[in-house]
Structures are given as C-alpha cells and as structure tokens.
Amino acid sequence: MAVGVPFPQSNLVLTAPTAEDALAGNVYDLHVHVWRDLDGAGHVLSKWQFSADELSELQRNGGVLWFHCWGDTHPPIGIEVEDPFAARQT
C-alpha cells in the first residue's frame, strides 16, 4: 500500500487514534495541509508514495488504483499526480 510522506507545506500531522494502533505498526503519522476555501469548506491534502512494485503494477494495469475509505460513505476526493503547490503554467 502506498504510504503517506511528509511535505514542506504540511501544517498538521494526523496521528494514530490510540497508542495501541501506533505500537501495532499499521497506523502511522500522516502529514497533511489543511485549509478552508472561499466558501468556508474544509480541505485536507496529503502526499503519497508508491513502492517500485506498486509503480510496476500501476503500469501493468493501465494506471488503475483503488481508494479505500473508512466510514459509511465515500467523501469527495481528488487524486492527481501534479504538485498542487507548484506554479502552473497556462
């Protein structure tokens, strides 16, 4: 599974909900950038890194990935490969 990686613009670190989760090694800190847009809606942005094997599988399967969300519904999300903090040329 891809892992979350720190990035310079992160302004919050989400931590494991319990000490037991952290000690089990299957929940780790996730660096995020949190902000509100002009309408006051909240946003959370995280950065993820795929392993070499995962990158190979993405190439093999035509770039398909699966998003897994805990909860009762699918939240609005965006998945992209371009750095959202980099200046975009038009």
pLDDT in tens, 68-78: 888 888 888 88
- Please name which of 66, 25, 30 lies closest in space to residue 48, comparing C-alpha atoms: 30
Give the length of the chain.
Answer: 90
pLDDT in tens, 14-69: 998 888 888 887 788 899 999 999 999 999 999 999 999 999 999 999 999 998 88
Long-range contacts of 73-76 (CB under 8 A, 24+ apart): none
Could you tell me which residue, 21 or 12, shows the higher pLDDT? 12
Q: pTM to 2 decimals?
A: 0.81
Q: What is the pLDDT of residue 21?
A: 84
- Please name which of 24, 40, 31 lies closest in space to residue 6, comparing C-alpha atoms: 31
Q: Are 9 and 44 in contact (CB under 8 A)?
A: no
